[in-house]
């Protein structure tokens, strides 16, 4: 008698932000419970999941293109299950559009009911019928869903879901619902377990971490959470994203400054340095307010690195408004900036605004801004040469034949080593700078 072991495989396509990367780990956790193994090969997969993003049009188009490309495979392999979830499906009318445009898709689900994916997949397998379940509303917390983590020694931990801010360009509050915070004890326990099992860097995730606890039944805020996580024994780094310039408090800044485990590195999205544009964006701060927060940070945490998000081409942005942003970028000298061209999202306030900017002007502005930030990055990298920094080794780069990791300020550093150092803290002397990356040698 032979025991024939049939293996089933899944593949997950992830688009968009860190939040989605972690949600894909939760989808993988559910697939693992059903005994699926991961594959990177579409042809070998029995289940292919698209975890989509709709924050900008290009992210959406990317996913749509990839879903469409699977049609021939599905035709050849009738048993293949294709599932589409994530932010894109939550938009008004999008689930219907996906159902009609891609009739070969088997399961369509949203962000609010992501934790139900396992049940939807089982239903599809049992009945052979298409499952389309997108529910309007807030994220349903289900602490029984355990992520299958794929990014050792880094671990992502949600502290909250949703967003209450309604920045006028942003689709997130419409597709992810209102803010809900996880219970402090549950978060503390998750971090404790992660540290115990060897994770060395914990990143707390929320659309606006500074409003953690604000709409909850408990009287406990983000600064309290940072302070309590830092009391957990063991050597690990604590990161968090994103902070909001209107909400970050002195109490949070003090918690960062006082605790050794918190990385002195803050992501504080500016978006624009024109107060007129910030008003139209409904960001609820002026450029002066933003600058005051930067000064508060730099005073309380002298070496603090500040990274940011900047957007160009928002409706009614004049050359003068753009120059405000350009000059502020040159003045503040961010330690990193994600730069975006404004993308018109159906359903948001800005979608219907007069004064939309033409593509050529947007392109010209983004190119000038990127060039400036590249020069700032290069200058900052050069200043690293000769320094010795503590690096958490995260991976091995096959192409370069080098290990890589980041320092406290999230600077990527490559170095060589005879043995694997993944998951270890090592002192690295920086010998060379190249763009955003640095190269160094292990040593004191
Ligand atoms: N167009 C361009 N960029 C956007 N972002 C959010 N919505 C849009 C949009 N409609 C950017 C913001 C935000 C980051 C996560 O994505 O800069 O901080
Ligand atoms: Fe979008 Fe603004 Fe919420 Fe960030 S804070 S997710 S930009 S609405």
> Is residue 55 lining ligand 1, measured as CB closer than 6 Å?
yes
Burial of 323 from C-beta contacts in 10 A (0-12 / 13-18 / 19+)? middle
- Nearest atom of ligand 1 to the alpha carbon of 17: 15
CA gap 101, 185 in Å, rounded: 44
Query: How does DSSP assign 235-254, residue by residue?
Result: --EEEEE---TTT--HHHHH
Ligand nearest the Cα atom of residue 282:
2
- 107 three-state secondary structure: strand
* pLDDT band at residue 114 under the 50/70/90 scheme: very high
- 397 three-state secondary structure: strand
> Is residue 90 lining ligand 2, measured as CB closer than 6 Å?
no
Give the per-residue pLDDT at 1: 56
Q: What is the mean pLDDT of residues 101-122?
A: 97
Q: Whose CA is nearest to atom 5 of ligand 2?
A: 165
> Is residue 225 lining ligand 2, measured as CB closer than 6 Å?
no
Give the per-residue pLDDT at 206: 97
Q: What is the mean pLDDT of residues 238-260?
A: 97
* pLDDT band at residue 182 under the 50/70/90 scheme: very high
List phi, psi (to 5°) of 182.
-75, 155
- Nearest atom of ligand 1 to the alpha carbon of 350: 10
Contacting residues for 232 by C-beta, under 8 A, at least 6 apart: 188, 191, 192, 195
- Nearest atom of ligand 1 to the alpha carbon of 242: 18
- 363 three-state secondary structure: helix
* pLDDT band at residue 59 under the 50/70/90 scheme: very high
Contacting residues for 175 by C-beta, under 8 A, at least 6 apart: 54, 87, 88, 90, 91, 110, 111
pLDDT at 212 over 80: yes
Give the per-residue pLDDT at 423: 98
- Nearest atom of ligand 1 to the alpha carbon of 344: 10
pLDDT at 261 over 90: yes
- Nearest atom of ligand 1 to the alpha carbon of 338: 17
* pLDDT band at residue 444 under the 50/70/90 scheme: low
Based on its alpha-carbon atoms, the radius of gyration of the chain, rounded to whole angstroms, reads 23
Q: What is the mean pLDDT of residues 242-258?
A: 97
pLDDT per position as a tens digit, 6-31:
899 999 999 999 999 999 999 999 99
Q: What is the mean pLDDT of residues 221-241?
A: 98
pLDDT at 229 over 70: yes
> Is residue 268 lining ligand 1, measured as CB closer than 6 Å?
no
6 CA to middle of ligand 2, Å?
45
Which residue would you say has higher pLDDT here, 190 or 139? 190
173 CA to middle of ligand 2, Å?
7
Strand partners, 201: 154, 237
Q: What is the mean pLDDT of residues 144-173?
A: 97
* pLDDT band at residue 232 under the 50/70/90 scheme: very high
167 CA to middle of ligand 2, Å?
6
> Residue 86's closest CA among 70, 67, 68?
67
> Is residue 208 lining ligand 2, measured as CB closer than 6 Å?
yes
Q: Going by DSSP bridges, is the β-strand pair 8-14/237-241 parallel, antiparallel, or unpaired? A: unpaired
Give the per-residue pLDDT at 3: 65
Least confident of 132-141, 149-158, 282-291, 323-332: 132-141
Give the per-residue pLDDT at 137: 84
Question: pTM for this structure?
Answer: 0.96
Give the per-residue pLDDT at 437: 84
> Is residue 268 lining ligand 2, measured as CB closer than 6 Å?
no
Give the per-residue pLDDT at 410: 94
* pLDDT band at residue 48 under the 50/70/90 scheme: very high
Q: How many helices (H) and strands (E) does the chain have?
A: 14, 19
399 CA to middle of ligand 2, Å?
37
Domains and CATH numbers, the chain: 8-133 (3.40.50.12160), 154-382 (3.80.30.20), 388-442 (2.40.50.140)
- Nearest atom of ligand 2 to the alpha carbon of 208: 5
Q: Whose CA is nearest to atom 17 of ligand 1?
A: 309
Give the per-residue pLDDT at 284: 98
> Is residue 56 lining ligand 1, measured as CB closer than 6 Å?
yes
* pLDDT band at residue 2 under the 50/70/90 scheme: low
Q: What is the mean pLDDT of residues 407-427?
A: 96
């Amino acid at each position: 008698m032979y025991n024939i072991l049939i293996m089933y495989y899944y593949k997950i396509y992830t688009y968009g932000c860190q939040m989605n990367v972690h949600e894909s780990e939760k989808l993988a956790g559910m697939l693992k419970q059903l005994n699926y193994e991961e594959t990177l090969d579409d042809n070998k997969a029995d289940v292919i999941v698209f975890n989509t993003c709709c924050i900008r049009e290009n992210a959406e188009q990317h996913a749509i293109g990839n879903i469409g490309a699977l049609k021939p495979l599905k035709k050849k392999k009738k048993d293949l299950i294709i599932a589409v979830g994530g932010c894109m499906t939550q938009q008004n009318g999008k689930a219907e559009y996906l159902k009609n445009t891609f009739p070969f898709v088997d399961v369509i689900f949203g962000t609010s009911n992501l934790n139900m994916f396992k049940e939807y997949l089982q239903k599809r397998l049992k009945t052979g019928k298409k499952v389309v379940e997108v529910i309007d509303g807030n994220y349903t917390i289900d602490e029984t869903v355990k992520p299958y983590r794929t990014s050792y020694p880094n671990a992502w931990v949600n502290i909250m879901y949703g967003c209450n801010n309604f920045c006028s360009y942003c689709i997130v509050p419409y597709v992810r619902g209102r803010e809900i915070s996880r219970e402090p004890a549950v978060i503390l326990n998750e971090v404790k377990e992660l540290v115990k099992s060897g994770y060395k860097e914990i990143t707390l995730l929320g659309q606006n971490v500074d409003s953690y606890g604000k709409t909850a039944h408990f009287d406990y805020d983000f600064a309290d959470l940072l302070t309590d996580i830092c009391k957990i024994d063991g050597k690990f780094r604590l990161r968090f994203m994103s902070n909001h310039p209107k909400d970050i408090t002195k109490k949070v800044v003090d918690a960062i400054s006082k605790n050794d485990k918190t990385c002195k590195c803050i992501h504080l999205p500016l978006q624009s340095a024109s107060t007129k544009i910030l008003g139209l964006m409904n960001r609820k701060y002026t450029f002066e307010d933003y600058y005051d927060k930067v000064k508060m940070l730099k005073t309380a945490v002298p070496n603090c690195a500040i990274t940011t998000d900047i957007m160009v081409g928002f409706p009614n942005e004049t050359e003068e408004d753009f120059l405000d942003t350009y000059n502020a970028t040159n003045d503040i000298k961010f330690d990193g900036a994600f730069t975006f061209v404004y993308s018109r999202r159906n359903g948001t306030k800005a979608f219907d605004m007069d004064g939309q900017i033409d593509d050529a002007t947007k392109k010209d502005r983004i190119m000038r801004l990127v060039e400036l930030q590249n020069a700032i990055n290069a200058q900052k990298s050069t200043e690293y040469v000769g320094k010795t920094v503590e690096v958490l080794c995260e991976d091995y780069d096959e192409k370069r034949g080098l290990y890589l990791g980041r320092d406290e300020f999230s600077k990527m550093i490559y170095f060589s080593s005879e043995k694997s150092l993944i998951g270890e803290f090592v002192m690295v002397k920086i010998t060379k700078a190249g763009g955003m990356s640095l190269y160094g040698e292990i040593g004191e």
